[in-house]
Amino acid sequence: MPNNLKHFTDVPACRLLADRTRRSDLDTRDYSEAYTELGRFLAYQVLEQFELEECQIQHCEGPRPGVRIRNEERIGMVCLMRAGLYLAHGCRSILRHSPLHLFSPERDKGLSVKEIEELATSSLETLLIIDSVVNTGKTIRPLFAQAKAIGIKKIIVIAGVSPVAQGNSIAEDCPDVLFYFARLSNNSYVGKGSTDTGNRLFGTFGRA
């Protein structure tokens, strides 16, 4: 397995959290909450990539030393709409001062000029690209070059699941990108209509 790919398929906490994202008997609200919780878990794992610094906090006994993420405002999040939204909400509950961008990149082409300009104005050092599922990678691959072109130094992809072969392949092809997947799956199933992840998250069953 590539060194730049981390997954938590066999971690007990992740197994419990991810199990809810695989169930077909949850209503829309419970399903979206499952992705939010999984996003929070993944954000905690990604923290190993960042430094903490001391800061002053308000303690019950008065001001005390605490910690925070160094330069958190320079860590940006790109949520791939629609299906990445709740995973991104979970990440944002940890990275509370990081800017969040909601984008819908075009397969094989990436972000629009307007979206790139929006991203560039944030003056980011690190970019978290967040999606529910990474299948072929055709949607996220163009973003890597676009992010580097505007000066972003570190790129991290966060996703709920990726098929084993595809996850390993994209990580091998992009050794300078870090990948954090909740789990790798031997099943390459792609939902449609009422089984599509986005439709299930938003209750828009039967729509494209």
More confidently predicted of 179 and 27: 179
- Average pLDDT over the chain, rounded to an integer: 93
Q: What gap in Å lies between CA 153 and CA 137, rounded to an integer?
A: 20
Q: Taking residues 38-65, report their average pLDDT.
A: 96
In the chain, the N- to C-terminal Cα span, in Å, equals 34
Q: Any idea what the CATH number is for the domain that residue 45 is in?
A: 3.40.50.2020
Domain for residue 55, yes or no? no
Domain for residue 197, yes or no? yes
More confidently predicted of 147 and 26: 147
Helix (H) or strand (E) segment spanning residue 183? strand 177-185
Q: Do residues 95 and 49 lie in contact, with contact meaning Cβ atoms separated by under 8 Å?
A: no
How do beta strands 75-80 and 154-163 pair?
A: unpaired
Q: What gap in Å lies between CA 118 and CA 136, rounded to an integer?
A: 26
Domain for residue 61, yes or no? no
Domain for residue 192, yes or no? yes
How many domains in the chain? 1
Tokens 């001391």 -> residue: 54
Q: Taking residues 126-144, report their average pLDDT.
A: 95
Question: What's the full length of the chain, in residues?
Answer: 208
Phi, psi of 75 (to 5 degrees): -105, 105
- Quote the domain boundaries for residue 36: 5-50+70-202
Q: How confident is the model at residue 208 (pLDDT cuts 50, 70, 90)?
A: very low
pTM metric for this prediction: 0.92
Domain for residue 60, yes or no? no
Domain for residue 208, yes or no? no
